[in-house]
């Protein structure tokens, strides 16, 4: 029966519908038998008389393609061939490496393994620093109505993990294929600052570009006296802003602005000066990069997020209004914007701050996004901020993008803590030793003196480190050093052993990711 079902599937023309759960199990049985590999049932797909699937070969994974000799689909992929019998007919089975060429072929043959533009649909970013997390991420969003960004990586993260933009994209595509996710996914080239960053990520096929003009933000403008502000204001790059200092005053000071959810809003001169002096150069830089994107991707072939979340001072609602309105005036089309909210959005831990004031301001941010846009409010460093999720869900009404990254790496370390106590102890001690150096580019407040002593924690309780505020942050910010540090002989100190453990315990990693990320997406799920 399974072989007959496989033979029937191979008669399909074009892209076949996703098999039912029962059929997928039978097809997995048949493909596993003819290949000798452990096939992932969800991956089984048929197109133009060929069947494709992901399979496990020991600790490694392979892409398998089954078809008649000379099949056009077979011809797209490179691999090793063998002749197999399928329902008394000779077929060619090609076993392929998960490399860049075969990833590109897969995107061509099965379009759902390529990213798409997500637009205003409610979405969640799931950064995957190891390239192993996509199946678990997909499980976390199934049935929620949220659109996942499973290819998401910043330039900083790629540098620290020694991965390329193309590797990030390819790993995500293979993960989507393995999971059998056909509902679409986004890809986020995160925190881009230069045209060179854009070119690299555009070449890799990214569809969303998060522009980070933080280096062009004048944080001092929040505290400057009025005389200094007026002097700075006159020297702003008005030509690049396509207006004059006078016309800008006219635009904002002749209000009031009627914004649903805020009411009649009369902007004061000082508010305008602070907003313009703080963000005008950042706006101009964003517009410059957006124009470059038009050249390299083509209008309508990408989406933009603008992020100012990593600046020193919070973005006030007035400043948010100024930024969004000026981007719109410059013709920059953006699907989401990430302000710097009040309170502490530290890595790997919950929100710290006044929730009442956060809610008051967040309601205004959401109102502005609907008024000027609509566009989505993007919450960066959104991992583990459980206290604010109900507030964000309430006021954005679906116009939200929640961005997570490092929390998935921490779930990988949770697997190590559970399955390989010796390796976890080594990694934890190494992270403690590296923390003071590696925390330099992060907003964290963990104290080494408050990390539980390794010698006092028995093996069966090591997973508790992943629930401790201080230990989580120490592990979070040292990921790059853990993944890339080498021994004197040139071999990796931890990387190979960590990957081996995660491949051995793949089910644990998927389960941990699904459970932990599931808590993130649940407040935003479509009812």
Catalytic residues: 190, 305
> Do the Cβ atoms of 363 and 370 come closer than 8 Å?
no
- Going by C-alpha positions, the residue among 115, 127, 132 that lies closest to residue 503 is 132
The residue assigned the tokens 């040292």 is: 478
- Collect all residues with Cβ–Cβ distance below 8 Å to 410 and sequence separation of at least 6: 348, 466, 472, 475, 476
Q: What is the distance between the alpha carbons of residues 35 and 228, in angstroms, rounded to a whole number?
A: 73
Q: Parallel, antiparallel, or unpaired for β 303-307 and 89-96? A: unpaired
Strand partners, 323: none
Q: What is the distance between the alpha carbons of residues 178 and 135, in angstroms, rounded to a whole number?
A: 7
Cα–Cα separations (whole angstroms), residue 61 to 110, 133, 177, 342, 484:
18, 14, 12, 44, 23
Q: What is the distance between the alpha carbons of residues 285 and 505, in angstroms, rounded to a whole number?
A: 45
Encoded tokens for 378: 């993007």
> Do the Cβ atoms of 45 and 51 come closer than 8 Å?
yes
Q: What is the distance between the alpha carbons of residues 423 and 204, in angstroms, rounded to a whole number?
A: 34
DSSP state, residue 313: S
> Do the Cβ atoms of 189 and 206 come closer than 8 Å?
yes
Q: What is the distance between the alpha carbons of residues 238 and 227, in angstroms, rounded to a whole number?
A: 19
> Do the Cβ atoms of 54 and 63 come closer than 8 Å?
yes
Element (DSSP H or E) covering residue 358: helix 355-372
- Going by C-alpha positions, the residue among 121, 147, 205, 122 that lies closest to residue 171 is 205
Q: How many CB atoms within 10 Å of residue 359? A: 15
Q: What is the distance between the alpha carbons of residues 58 and 38, in angstroms, rounded to a whole number?
A: 9
> Do the Cβ atoms of 476 and 160 come closer than 8 Å?
no
Q: What is the distance between the alpha carbons of residues 133 and 383, in angstroms, rounded to a whole number?
A: 15
> Do the Cβ atoms of 169 and 207 come closer than 8 Å?
no
Q: How many CB atoms within 10 Å of residue 484? A: 15
Q: How many CB atoms within 10 Å of residue 434? A: 17
Distance from chain centroid for Cα 358: 24
- Going by C-alpha positions, the residue among 19, 3, 23 that lies closest to residue 89 is 3
- Going by C-alpha positions, the residue among 447, 208, 279 that lies closest to residue 349 is 447
Sign of the CA dihedral with 279 first, then 285, 290, and 293 last: negative
9 — phi, psi (to 5°)?
A: -65, -35
């Amino acid at each position: 029966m399974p072989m007959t079902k496989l033979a029937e599937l191979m008669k399909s023309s074009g892209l076949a519908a996703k098999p039912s759960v029962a059929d997928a199990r039978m097809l997995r049985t048949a493909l596993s038998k003819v290949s000798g590999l452990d096939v992932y049932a969800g991956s089984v797909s048929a197109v133009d008389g060929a069947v494709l699937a992901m399979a496990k070969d020991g600790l490694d994974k392979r892409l398998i393609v089954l078809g008649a000799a000379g099949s056009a689909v077979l011809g797209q992929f490179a691999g090793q061939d063998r002749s197999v019998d399928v329902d008394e007919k000779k077929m060619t089975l090609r076993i392929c490496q998960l490399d860049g060429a075969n990833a590109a072929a897969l995107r061509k043959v099965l379009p759902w393994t390529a990213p798409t533009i997500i637009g205003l649909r409610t979405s969640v970013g799931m950064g995957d620093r190891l390239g192993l997390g996509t199946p678990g991420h997909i499980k976390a969003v199934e049935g929620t109505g949220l659109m996942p960004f499973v290819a998401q990586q910043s330039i900083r993260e790629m540098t620290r993990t020694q991965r390329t933009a193309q590797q990030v994209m390819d790993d995500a595509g293979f993960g989507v294929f393995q999971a059998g996710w056909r509902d679409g996914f986004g890809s986020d080239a995160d925190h881009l600052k230069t045209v060179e960053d854009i070119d690299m990520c555009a070449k890799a096929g990214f569809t969303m570009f998060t522009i980070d003009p933080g280096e062009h933000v004048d944080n001092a403008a929040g505290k400057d006296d009025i005389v200094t502000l007026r002097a700075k204001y006159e020297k702003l790059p008005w030509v690049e802003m396509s207006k004059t200092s006078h016309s800008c005053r006219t635009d904002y000071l002749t209000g009031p602005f009627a914004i649903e959810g805020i009411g009649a809003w009369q902007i004061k001169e000082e508010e305008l000066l602070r907003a313009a002096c703080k963000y005008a150069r950042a706006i101009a830089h964003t517009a410059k990069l957006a124009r470059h994107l038009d050249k390299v991707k083509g209008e309508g072939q990408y989406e933009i997020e603008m992020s100012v979340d990593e600046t020193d001072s919070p973005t006030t609602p007035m400043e948010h209004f100024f930024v969004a309105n000026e981007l719109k005036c410059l013709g920059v089309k953006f699907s989401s914007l990430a302000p710097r909210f009040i309170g502490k959005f530290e890595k790997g831990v919950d929100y710290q701050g006044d929730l009442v004031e956060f809610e008051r301001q967040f309601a205004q941010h959401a109102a502005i996004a609907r008024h000027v846009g609509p566009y989505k409010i993007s919450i960066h460093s959104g991992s583990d901020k459980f206290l604010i999720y109900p507030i964000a869900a309430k006021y954005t009404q679906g116009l939200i993008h929640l961005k997570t990254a490092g929390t998935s790496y921490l779930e990988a370390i949770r697997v190590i803590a559970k399955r390989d106590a010796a390796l976890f102890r080594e990694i934890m001690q190494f992270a403690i030793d590296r923390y003071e150096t590696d925390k330099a580019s992060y907003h964290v407040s963990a104290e080494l003196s408050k990390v539980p002593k390794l010698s006092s924690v028995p093996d069966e309780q090591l997973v508790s480190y992943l629930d401790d505020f201080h230990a989580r942050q120490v592990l979070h910010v040292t990921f790059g050093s853990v993944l890339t540090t080498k021994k004197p002989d040139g071999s990796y100190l931890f990387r190979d052993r960590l990957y081996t453990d995660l491949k051995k315990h793949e089910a644990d990693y998927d389960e941990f990711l699904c459970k932990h990320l599931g808590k993130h997406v649940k407040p935003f799920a479509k009812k």
